[in-house]
A and B are shown apart, each in its own frame.
Chain A
Amino acid sequence: MTSEVVAAAPVPVPGRAQRVREIAEELRGLRGALIPILHAVQEEFGYVDPPDVAVIADVLNLAVAEVHGVVTFYKDFRRTAAGRTTVAICQAEACRAVGAVELAEHAKRTVGCDFGETTYDGRITLEEIYCFGNCALGPTVQVGSKLHGRVTPTRLNTLLGESR
Chain B
Amino acid sequence: MTHPTPPPIPTPTPTGAPGTAGPTTATPAPMPGDTDAPTAGAQHTGAPATSFGNSHAPAQPTTRVFVPRDSAARSVGADEVAERLAALHDTSAVVRTGSRGMLWLEPLVEVETGEGRVGYGPVAAEDVDGLIAGGMIEGAVVGPYLGLVDELPWMKRQQRLTFQRVGVVDPLSTTDYLAHGGLTGLRAALAMDPAEVVETVVDSGLRGRGGAGFPTGIKWRTVLNADADLKFVCCNADEGDSGTYADRMLIEGDPFTLIEGMTIAAYAVGAAEGYVYLRSEYPDAVATLKAAIELARAAGWLGPDILGSGFGFDLHVRVGAGAYICGEETSMLESLEGKRGMVRAKPPIPALEGLFGRPTVVNNVLSLATIPTILANGAAAYAAYGTGRSLGTSVFQLGGNVARGGIVETAFGITLGELVNDFGGGTSSGRPVRAVQVGGPLGAYLPVEQFDLPMDYEAFAAAGAMVGHGGIVVFDETVDMAAMARFAFEFCAAESCGKCTPCRVGAVRGVETIDRILTSTAGTDRAQNLVLLEDLCELMTDGSLCAMGGLTPMPVRSAVRHFGEDFQA
Q: B-contacting residues of A (Cβ < 8 Å)?
A: 30-36, 38-39, 60, 66, 69-70, 73-77, 92-98, 129-138, 140, 145, 147-150
Picked from A34, A97, A149, the residue with its CB within 8 Å of the CB of B400 is A97
Picked from B321, B324, B476, the residue with its CB within 8 Å of the CB of A76 is B321
Chain B positions 307 through 345: 1 when the CB is less than 8 Å from some CB of chain A, otherwise 0? 000000000101111111000000000011111110000
B301 on the A face (CB < 8 A): no
Q: List residues of chain B with CB within 8 A of the CB of A36.
A: 318-319
A95 vs B175: C-alpha distance in the bound complex, in angstroms? 38
Q: Which of the four size classes fits the interface of chain B? A: 35 or more
Picked from B273, B402, B406, B437, the residue with its CB within 8 Å of the CB of A93 is B437
A132 vs B450: C-alpha distance in the bound complex, in angstroms? 29
Q: List residues of chain B with CB within 8 A of the CB of A129.
A: 281
B242 on the A face (CB < 8 A): yes
Q: Is the CB of B491 within 8 A of A134?
A: no
Picked from A33, A95, A133, A135, the residue with its CB within 8 Å of the CB of B338 is A33
Q: Is the CB of A136 within 8 A of B282?
A: no
Q: Is the CB of B399 within 8 A of A94?
A: yes
Q: List residues of chain A with CB within 8 A of the CB of B406.
A: 136
Given contact pairs A32-B318, A136-B104, A137-B103, A94 touches B335 in the complex (Cβ within 8 A):
no
The A-B contact count (CB < 8 A) is 148
What is the minimal beta-carbon distance from B439 to any residue of chain A, in angstroms? 11
Q: List residues of chain A with CB within 8 A of the CB of B441.
A: 92-93
Q: Is the CB of A135 within 8 A of B245?
A: yes
Q: Is the CB of A136 within 8 A of B318?
A: no
* 9-residue interface stretch from B46-54, B467-475, B523-531: B467-475
What is the minimal beta-carbon distance from A139 to any residue of chain B, in angstroms? 11
Q: Is the CB of B336 within 8 A of A97?
A: no
Q: Is the CB of A39 within 8 A of B428?
A: no
Given contact pairs A74-B322, A93-B441, A135 touches B471 in the complex (Cβ within 8 A):
yes
Q: Is the CB of A77 within 8 A of B321?
A: yes
A74 vs B321: C-alpha distance in the bound complex, in angstroms? 6
Contacting A at CB under 8 A, from B485-500, are 487, 491, 495
Q: Is the CB of B247 within 8 A of A133?
A: yes
A70 vs B487: C-alpha distance in the bound complex, in angstroms? 26
Q: Is the CB of A76 within 8 A of B280?
A: yes
Q: Is the CB of B397 within 8 A of A135?
A: yes
A98 vs B427: C-alpha distance in the bound complex, in angstroms? 10
* 9-residue interface stretch from B72-80, B154-162, B178-186, B256-264: B72-80
